[in-house]
Amino acid sequence: QLSDQQKMSESPLSRFGGVYLPPALHPLNKTLVKDGKWKDVDSTQEKRRSFLHDFCKKYNSKKQLRTHLLHLVSRIYVEDRHKVLYCEVPKAGCSNWKRVLMVLNGLAASAHNISHDDVHYGKHLRKLDSYDLKGIYTRLNMYTKAIFVRDPMERLVSAFRDKFEHPNSYYHPVFGKAIIKKYRHNANEEALKTGSGVKFREFIQYLLDSHRPVGMDIHWEQVSKLCYPCLINYDFIGKFETLEEDANYFLQLVGAPAELKFPKFKDRHSSDERTSAEVVRQYLKELSNEERQLTYDFYYLDYLMFNYTSP
């Protein structure tokens, strides 16, 4: 169905025949930023943008990237009023970002009144792959595209704690059962039946297994495969480590209402300690040196693209 329309399209995004280099880095439109206090945040932003752009030029010249357009944009949320595209990276502030997009879109008066289930299962926000080709290209070219990322090991440990250390009616029976069955010797009947109690080391064995008993999941998929930062030219690169500052500067850039501020609250398991570098260290102690190295290798591109220090 898409092939005729794709033939008509001249965009290099439609078919990756050979090496594709990202378009030139466009300057950010800063006309709506009224406040001088964003100078440092803006300077950091420009460094991140040019770092990623330079990295992609080098990386793409060595490696062909081929992927279908609809897959390429399948994680991107659209907010038409303020012309925003936001690529969802789970465990990097995405629940609160979706709340903000709902407020921007006029679907809610405040980010604080929107429940977790409403954010993730309410189907209030459209994704970019739900538009036709013309709609996709127009938005990719005209809208402000944002991505928010996090230190890969912190993101991984945060995902493990969220999905496996708390009761979960999806991750325990679907992932937990398969992981315990394959990687735990002498597993008892209860563990095999419920899939609860997966250990971090078992989870890592699953992650690194080329013959995984159950597929990948967006909560621990690499950002390079969720958002394709070398094929989609993101205008704004936020980091979880500076989330509030970055997010509130971005809201200024797109002309959001002055009273809208990025929410500070922890979305779920609010009594748990946040996953910090120290928390990550404790989890990594459970792994052998080889497993630690292989886990780093798994997220190698994410470390490089976003200039994170190797652990």
Per-residue pLDDT tens for 156-192? 999 999 999 999 999 999 999 999 999 999 999 999 9
**Cα 120 from Cα 77, distance rounded (Å):** 12
Average pLDDT over residues 39-66: 84
Range in 16-25, 67-76, 228-237 with the lowest mean pLDDT: 16-25
Q: Show me where the domains of the chain are located.
A: 36-152+221-275+302-306
Pick the more confident residue, 109 or 255: 255
pLDDT tens digits, residue range 84-115? 999 999 999 999 999 999 999 988 878 888 87
- What pLDDT is recorded for position 84? 96
* DSSP per position, 171-211: HIIIIIHHHHHHH-TT--HHHHHH-----HHHHHHHHH-TT
Average pLDDT over residues 226-239: 94
Average pLDDT over residues 249-278: 85
Average pLDDT over residues 266-285: 84
CA-based nearest residue to 303, from 225, 222, 231: 222
- For the chain, the average pLDDT equals 88
**Confidence band of 271 (pLDDT split at 50, 70, 90):** low
Pick the more confident residue, 4 or 295: 295
User: 26 φ, ψ to 5°?
Assistant: -80, 145
Helix, strand and coil content of the chain, in percent to the nearest 5, comes to: 50, 5, 45
Residue 20 has pLDDT above 50, yes or no: no
- What pLDDT is recorded for position 264? 83
- What pLDDT is recorded for position 311? 83
Average pLDDT over residues 143-166: 97
**Cα 68 from Cα 107, distance rounded (Å):** 31
- What pLDDT is recorded for position 113? 80
- What pLDDT is recorded for position 118? 78
84-87 vs 76-79, strand pairing mode: antiparallel
Q: Are the C-beta atoms of 228 and 302 separated by less than 8 Å?
A: no
Residue 82 has pLDDT above 70, yes or no: yes
Pick the more confident residue, 59 or 134: 134
- What pLDDT is recorded for position 22? 55
Average pLDDT over residues 57-77: 77
Cα dist from 287 to 36, 204, 211, 283, whole Å: 47, 8, 20, 8
- Percent of the chain having pLDDT more than 90? 70
